[in-house]
């Protein structure tokens, strides 16, 4: 006999799959933004545009 207060195994499995899917999408978006940021930064540095981290002048 099961306790009616507890969620079913099917509901728990669905929540676990949903949580994994949301985490996967979040990771993909986060990593994609980081890659885009660093590519943009590298492009600016190659073009000599300001916006990157300033370097100390060479003596």
Q: What average pLDDT does the segment 53-57 reach?
A: 64
Instruction: Centre a 10 Å sphere on the Cβ of residue 45 and count the other Cβ atoms it contains.
Output: 14
Residue 1: pLDDT above 80? no
pLDDT at 50: 58
CB 51, CB 41: distance < 8 Å: yes
CA distance 46 to 18: 42
Taken in order 31, 36, 41, 46, is the CA torsion positive or negative? positive
Q: In a 3-state reduction of DSSP, which class is residue 17?
A: helix
Q: What average pLDDT does the segment 38-50 reach?
A: 72
Q: In a 3-state reduction of DSSP, which class is residue 57?
A: coil
Query: Phi and psi (nearest 5°) for 21?
Result: -65, -45
Residue 41: pLDDT above 70? yes
């Amino acid at each position: 006999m099961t306790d009616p207060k507890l969620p079913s195994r099917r509901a728990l499995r669905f929540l676990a799959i949903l949580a994994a899917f949301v985490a996967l999408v979040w990771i993909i978006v986060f990593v994609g933004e980081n890659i885009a940021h660093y590519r943009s930064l590298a492009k600016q540095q190659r073009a000599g545009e300001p916006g990157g981290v300033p370097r100390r002048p060479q003596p």
